[in-house]
Amino acid sequence: MTLYCNGRVASADDLAGALTNYGHFTSLQVRNGAVQGLGLHLQRLQEGTVELFGTALDPLQVRAWMHDALQAEGAVDASLRVTVFSRQFDFRRPLRPVAVDVLVAVAPPVDLPAIARRLRTVRYQRELPHVKHVGTFALFQHRREALLAGVDDALFVGDDGLVSEGTTWNIAFASGDTLIWPQAPALRGTQERLLQAGWGGDQQVRPVALADLTGFDAAIACNAAGIWPIAVIDGGLLANSEALCAKARQVLGAVAWQPLGA
């Protein structure tokens, strides 16, 4: 992995500011120099920067830095993580206006296989769930605990009993021909939005209670690295998840890729 800060190779001084652990990011896959949902990723970065720093972020500049990082690495396929933080941020004076910095990490491409996962539900909700912030400790710990318990990952349920999201992914359920997206405080992912826009069939966005899970016959999880079927939740089987996943992959396969270069 190579790191670039504000368009140049990151130095130790650049990275010191990231140790404050205050910032936000987006992760995306690049194929042949292009990205699916590029506008959604840039919008996420803009909105997060306003909320956390009260500062505007130039999406054209960020896009150029992403493109330049790929060019510098000689890569056309890659995983990118774009993090917005500030070397000037002082947690003792969090309202002081500061300039933000943009860290672009370039790594090998990832395409998660469509292997069915088993989940267990846990009571948890991320802080500022609508922001893809850098506070990821609890997400990784819940995944680790799920693995120790003999399943593959964790599905979050709030104190109100409503299903929200997975550790690093969104979830959708199916009942017959209807696709259901849980309505609850969560990070609205780019893949989720692309699937919703291209689905074409009957779909709903509504609250999904823990007790409702027994009424579904399929479920899929998705993030920027892929889509995969959910085979089991808390021991309950979802027999039609493979077929639902195949349809979701077909829908996403029709989404245009936007070039990073001008």
The domain limits of the chain are 2-107, 117-253
Q: Which pLDDT belongs to residue 8?
A: 94
191 phi and psi, to 5 degrees? -65, -40
**What does the chain look like in DSSP terms, one character per residue?**
-EEEETTEEPPHHHHHGGGG---EEEEEEEBTTEEETHHHHHHHHHHHHHHHHS----HHHHHHHHHHHHHHHT-SSEEEEEEEE-TT--TTSTTS----EEEEEEE---------EEEEEEE---SSTTS-BS--HHHHHHHHHHHHTTSSEEEEE-TTSBEEEESSSEEEEEETTEEEEE-SS----HHHHHHHHH--S-EEEE--BGGGGGG-SEEEEEETTEEEEEEEETTEE-TTHHHHHHHHHHHHHTSPEEES--
Domain at 2-107: CATH architecture: 2-Layer Sandwich (3.30)
Burial class of residue 112 in the structure, from the number of CB atoms within 10 Å of its CB (0-12 exposed, 13-18 middle, 19+ buried) = middle
User: pTM for this one?
Assistant: 0.95
Sign of the CA dihedral 242, 243, 245, 246? positive
Q: What is the pLDDT along the chain (262 residues), one digit of tens a residue?
A: 899 999 999 998 888 877 888 999 999 999 999 999 999 999 999 999 999 999 999 999 999 999 999 999 999 999 999 999 999 999 999 998 899 999 999 999 998 888 999 999 999 999 999 999 999 999 999 999 999 999 999 999 999 999 999 999 999 999 999 999 999 999 999 999 999 999 998 999 999 999 999 999 999 999 999 999 999 999 999 999 999 999 999 999 999 999 998 6
Q: Which pLDDT belongs to residue 13?
A: 87
β-pair partners for 227: 222
pLDDT in tens, 169-201: 999 999 999 999 999 999 999 999 999 999 998
β-pair partners for 203: 179
Alpha carbon distances (Å) from 193 to 77, 116, 145, 197 = 23, 22, 29, 6
Q: Which pLDDT belongs to residue 19?
A: 80
Domains 2-107 and 117-253 share a fold: no
- The CATH classification number of 117-253 equals 3.20.10.10
Radius of gyration, alpha carbons of the chain = 19
